[in-house]
């Protein structure tokens, strides 16, 4: 194998998940002690309140090429209700032509996924100039299909850690259908890092109506079906707003140049997301139960309640 092919294979290995090694940052199965993912000094992601675990971990190193991939899930009452997957690739400054070509291919030419319009994507916003790309994709995913029968037949190996973790801990998804967004940015002008973040959340976390159709193609959230389901469309619009807000933070974390940034203001609606409101409601109920049981005094209850609402 010549050097060019070796470099490209190494890059594909970690992104496709075929290399599995011990992470120096998070340990597989570890429960997070804070509501924040901190990958390095640049990428720090605030999490929804709850029990988060590391369910996937991949790592690869070859000289100047260093790559990590972490998959986190949030568990509530024995069900997976949310997941975040983070890829951090330090692509170095050597053999850039080889690597940049492969990054472009994986972003815009992959036949199964990427930063371009596909039937299963609800919304795609992308900036592309040469090797630079900044992209946000929003839609929905059939999580059972993603785990066990993905469109790309070689991608099932990506989910091995997840399937093992779910089986060993007797966990299932709270909903087959998840709202989905992915966020990518790469530019040699700023740094040699390529960051990708994918997010999945049970629509029920936004107080969505139940799904009657539980496959990717038949789902109420599919862009070809959604106009027939106005309540689900309203939830998708909230998710788009949530994703746009996240992407703006993602651009800041990546120190994206002004002319690389996406115009997402049109998607952002005022007010807090229902997922945060749901957490506040849950916290207030728990606090009220503690007060009624005598664990908290009235003074302690009032102070704690004020802290939650502030």
Using CA atoms, how far apart are residues 205 and 65, in angstroms rounded to an integer? Answer: 38
Q: For residue 223, give both structure tokens.
A: 């862009």
Q: Tell me the helices (H) and strands (E) count for the chain, helix number first.
A: 7, 10
pLDDT for 117 beyond 60 = yes
pLDDT band of 6, cuts 50, 70, 90? very low
Instruction: Give the residue with greater pLDDT, 195 vs 277.
Output: 195
pLDDT at 125: 97
Q: For residue 233, give Cα distances in angstroms to 121, 140, 203, 225.
A: 14, 12, 11, 9
pLDDT for 20 beyond 60 = no
pLDDT band of 284, cuts 50, 70, 90? confident
Long-range contacts of 249-252 (CB under 8 A, 24+ apart): 250/183, 250/185, 250/195, 250/197, 251/134, 251/185
Dihedral-angle region of residue 175 (phi above 0 means left; psi in -120 to 50 means alpha; beta otherwise): beta
Domain boundaries, the chain: 3-271, 272-310
199 within 8 A of 180, measured Cβ to Cβ: yes
pLDDT for 112 beyond 60 = yes
């Amino acid at each position: 194998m010549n050097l060019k092919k070796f470099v490209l294979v190494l890059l594909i290995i970690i992104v496709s998940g075929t290399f599995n090694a011990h992470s120096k940052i998070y340990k597989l199965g570890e429960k997070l002690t804070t509501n924040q993912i901190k990958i390095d000094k640049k990428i720090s992601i605030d999490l929804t309140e709850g029990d988060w675990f590391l369910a996937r971990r991949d790592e690869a190193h070859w000289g100047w090429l260093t790559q990590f991939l972490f998959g986190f899930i949030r568990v509530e009452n024995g069900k997976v209700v949310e997941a975040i997957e983070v890829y951090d690739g330090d692509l170095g400054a050597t053999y850039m032509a080889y690597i940049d070509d492969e990054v472009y291919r994986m972003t815009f030419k992959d036949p199964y996924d990427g930063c371009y319009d596909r039937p299963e994507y609800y919304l795609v916003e992308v900036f592309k100039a040469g090797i630079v790309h900044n992209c946000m994709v929003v839609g929905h995913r059939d999580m059972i299909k993603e785990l066990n029968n993905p469109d790309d037949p070689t991608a099932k190996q990506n989910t091995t850690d997840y399937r093992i973790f779910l089986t060993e801990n007797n966990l299932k998804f709270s909903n087959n259908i998840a709202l989905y967004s992915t966020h990518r940015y790469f530019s040699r002008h700023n740094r040699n890092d390529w960051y990708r973040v994918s997010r999945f959340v049970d629509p029920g976390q936004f107080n969505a109506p139940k799904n009657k159709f539980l496959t990717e193609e038949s789902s109420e959230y599919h862009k070809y079906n959604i106009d027939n389901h106005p309540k689900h469309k309203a939830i998708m619009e909230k998710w788009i707003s949530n994703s746009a807000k996240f992407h703006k933070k993602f651009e800041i974390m990546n120190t994206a140049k002004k002319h690389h940034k996406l115009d997402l203001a049109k998607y952002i609606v005022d007010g807090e997301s229902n997922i945060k409101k749901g957490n506040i409601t849950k916290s207030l109920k728990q606090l009220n139960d503690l007060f009624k049981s005598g664990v908290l005094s009235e003074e302690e209850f009032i102070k704690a309640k004020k802290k939650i609402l502030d």
